[in-house]
């Protein structure tokens, strides 16, 4: 049945069949599980729940036992495996893990009885989410004087497959990482005088120069030190750095719509090499869940830039 579904135009590239990379790996595993169990069970209903954060897939099915002779060998290690009669809550201890395989011993089960089987497996393919979901974060935000708005969305690909193969298919914790650009806001709020003052200090401390130049700079510095920044430069810089810690920066972020806030971190950026001490962007992670009833979600990551700029401005007051 699964092969037949795979031949249908599930995801279409102008009429041609396109299967996203990684999707086949996941369905291949489903085929192996189906093939393993179908000798002993008539599979009546299947469900799949994927936890993106934990990288696990919970495969479960309701099956009618055809025979209790022998055993079912699954060529995967499972982090959890259980079987129970559909009308009972008691799990039957018939699973065994051995040499990278999970073995279900059938002899204590009753033929023609309906059972629920659940297996938790680790997903080793790092790109599996990419193959199941199309997530989109625009590189450039919509922007006004108060906010930067990044519209985000997630859509299940290969819906036809999931719908045909499972009565329940759920993906939890799909992550969407938005690069929130902060450099313009910092640049706009750092007063020119402060920048000049830093340059003078730096120049005096680090650049070899003759006496006349040195004297000129000392005079300039002594004037600048009477400004409100005098002697506070390192404190200001360090307080500014503090704004980029997750605890502080998260207050400038609001997630709207069908996504939820998860985390924020300073963005690594090769443009910053070899001096990556100051972030040009912050990475905001938000998450959502998709299932067959809600195969698409959308939301917005809002960066309250005005508030952020006001707080930077306050450091220089």
Partner 1 sequence: MGLIQEIFAPKYVLQGEDFPLILRWDIDTIPEVIEISYNPKSVEIEEIYNIASLGLLVIPASKSLKIVRINSVSINGYLGAKFRTKKTSEIIGKVHVTIRIKTSKGIELRTLTVHTIKPVIKVLKSPNIIQISCNNEYPKVKDKFKLKNIGQGTAILDFSVGDSSPEVSVGPPSRLGEYIASVFNSMKDNFRRVAKEYPQYSEPLHLAISIIEYLESGQEIDDELIRKIKKFETCMENLSHDSKFMDEYMSSILAAYFSNIQILTDVETFIVYLNSVYQGKILLINPLKVIHFPDKGEYELNLEIHLTDLLYSRYAPIPLGKVKILVDKECEVPIYKLFEFIGEGEENDRPNSQ
- Contacts of partner 1 in 121-140 (CB under 8 A): 126-127, 130, 134, 136, 138-140
| Paired residues of 152 in beta bridges | 299
> How far is C-alpha 104 from the geometric centre of its chain's CA atoms?
34
Distance CA 216, CA 288 (A): 59
Residue 156 as a binder of partner 1 (CB under 8 A): the answer is yes
Residue 230 as a binder of partner 1 (CB under 8 A): the answer is no
Residue 206 as a binder of partner 1 (CB under 8 A): the answer is yes
Residue 231 as a binder of partner 1 (CB under 8 A): the answer is no
Residue 146 as a binder of partner 1 (CB under 8 A): the answer is no
Residue 19 as a binder of partner 1 (CB under 8 A): the answer is no
CB of 102 to partner 1, least distance (A): 23
CB of 169 to partner 1, least distance (A): 11
Exposed/middle/buried for residue 206 (C-beta within 10 Å: 0-12, 13-18, 19+) = exposed
What are the DSSP calls for 98-110, one per residue? ETTEEEEE-TTS-
The dihedral through the CA atoms of 17, 23, 27, 28 has a sign that is positive
Residue 218 as a binder of partner 1 (CB under 8 A): the answer is no
Of the two residues 77 and 227, which places its CB atom closer to partner 1 in the complex?
Answer: 227
Distance CA 181, CA 147 (A): 12
The residue range among 60-68, 72-80, 95-103, 309-317 that interacts with partner 1, by the rule CB under 8 A, is 309-317
Residue 25 as a binder of partner 1 (CB under 8 A): the answer is no
Of the two residues 14 and 87, which places its CB atom closer to partner 1 in the complex?
Answer: 14
Residue 238 as a binder of partner 1 (CB under 8 A): the answer is yes
Distance CA 43, CA 59 (A): 13
Q: In this chain, which of 79, 213, 222, 245 binds partner 1, going by CB under 8 A? A: 213
By rule CB under 8 A, what string of x and - marks binding of each residue 47-86 to partner 1? ------x-x-------------------------------
Tokens of 314: 């306050």
Q: Which residues contact 258 (CB under 8 A, 6 or more apart)?
A: 288, 294, 297, 298, 299
């Amino acid at each position: 049945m699964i092969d037949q579904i795979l031949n249908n135009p599930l995801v279409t590239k102008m009429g041609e069949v396109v299967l996203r990379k990684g999707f086949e790996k996941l369905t291949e595993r489903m085929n192996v599980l189906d093939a393993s169990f179908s000798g002993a069970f008539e599979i009546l209903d299947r469900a799949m729940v994927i936890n993106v954060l934990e990288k696990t897939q919970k495969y479960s099915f309701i099956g009618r036992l055809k025979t209790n002779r022998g055993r079912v060998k699954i060529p995967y290690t499972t982090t959890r495996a259980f079987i129970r009669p559909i009308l009972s809550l008691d799990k039957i201890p018939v699973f065994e893990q051995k040499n990278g395989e999970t073995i279900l011993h059938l002899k204590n089960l009753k033929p023609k009885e309906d059972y629920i089987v659940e297996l938790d497996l680790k997903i080793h393919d790092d790109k599996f989410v990419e193959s199941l979901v199309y997530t989109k974060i625009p590189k450039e935000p919509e922007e006004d004087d108060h906010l930067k708005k990044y519209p985000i969305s997630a859509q299940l690909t290969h819906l036809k497959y999931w719908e045909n193969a499972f009565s329940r298919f759920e993906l939890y914790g799909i992550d969407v990482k938005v690069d929130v650009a902060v450099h313009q806001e910092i640049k706009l709020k750092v007063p020119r005088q402060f920048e000049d003052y830093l340059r003078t200090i730096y120049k005096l401390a680090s650049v070899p120069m003759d006496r006349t130049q040195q004297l000129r700079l000392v005079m300039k510095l002594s004037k600048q030190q009477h400004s409100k920044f005098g002697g506070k430069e390192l404190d200001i810089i360090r307080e500014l750095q503090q704004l980029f810690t997750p605890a502080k920066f998260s207050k400038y972020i609001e997630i709207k719509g069908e996504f939820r806030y998860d985390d924020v971190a300073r963005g690594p950026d090769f443009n910053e090499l070899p001096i990556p001490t100051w972030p040009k962007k912050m990475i905001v992670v938000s998450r959502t869940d998709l299932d067959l009833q809600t195969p698409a979600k959308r939301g917005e990551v809002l960066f309250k830039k005005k508030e952020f700029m006001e707080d930077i401005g306050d450091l220089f007051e």
